[in-house]
Amino acid sequence: MPTARMSKQQRREQVLKVAGDEFAAKGLHGTSAETIAQRAGITQAYVFRLFGTKKRLFIDAVDAAFERTRLAMLAAAGGLTGLEALAAMGLEYDAMLADRTTLLLQLQAFAASGEEDVRVAVRTSFGRLWESVAATTGLDPVTVKTFLAYGMLLNTGAALDIAEVDQDWARQARTRIQPGLFTHINTETNR
C-alpha cells in the first residue's frame, strides 16, 4: 500500500526529529547530513533545500528542544506563580529528563557554542527559557538563576546516567530537592 506524501511542513518536522536524535548523540560536527537524510528516507539535497545548511538544521533542532522544554514547564505551571509555579516547573523538568535526546541536544548546543552563530542562537533559546521562568514565577533573578543552575546539574546527572552508578558521589547527586529549598531567599538576601 503506498504511503501518503508528507507536506513540506510534515517533512521538515520529521527531519528535525531525526536530526535531533543524531545531533544529540554525535554533536554538530560528528553528525553528517547524509546520515540524517538516510534516516529520514530523503535525499541529502532535500535536507539542504529544507534547511539550507547542516548548521542551520542543528540550530533549528536545538531551538526546538529548548522550546519543548519551555512550553512543557509553562504548561506545568498553569496559573501558578511564585514558588508554587517554580515547584511545578521543577517537577515537569525532572520528568522530562527521561527524554535523553532533548537534554543531550541542549548539552551539545552548549558545546558547539564556540561558533558565533550557534552561540547567538543558543543564547536566544536559553534567554527565552529564562524569561519564561522569570515572568511566570515573578521571582527575583537569584532564585531563577538557582533554579536553572539546578536544572543544569540535573542535565549533567542524566547525561552521565548517574542513576546507574553505585557510588557515594552519585547517590548524593541523586538526592531529591525537597519543597522549601528557596524559602530562605528573600529580597534582603539577594541584593
Q: What is the pTM of this model?
A: 0.87
The mean pLDDT values, 10 residues at a time, for the chain of 191 residues are 72 96 97 97 95 98 96 96 93 90 93 97 97 96 92 89 92 75 60 48
3-state secondary structure of 12: helix
Q: Quote the pLDDT of residue 1.
A: 41
3-state secondary structure of 2: coil
Other CB atoms within a 10 A radius of the CB of residue 59 amount to 23
CB 162 within 8 A of CB 173: yes
CB 31 within 8 A of CB 94: no
3-state secondary structure of 123: helix
**C-alpha cell at position 13:** 518536522
DSSP structure string for 38-62: HHHTS-HHHHHHHHSSHHHHHHHHH
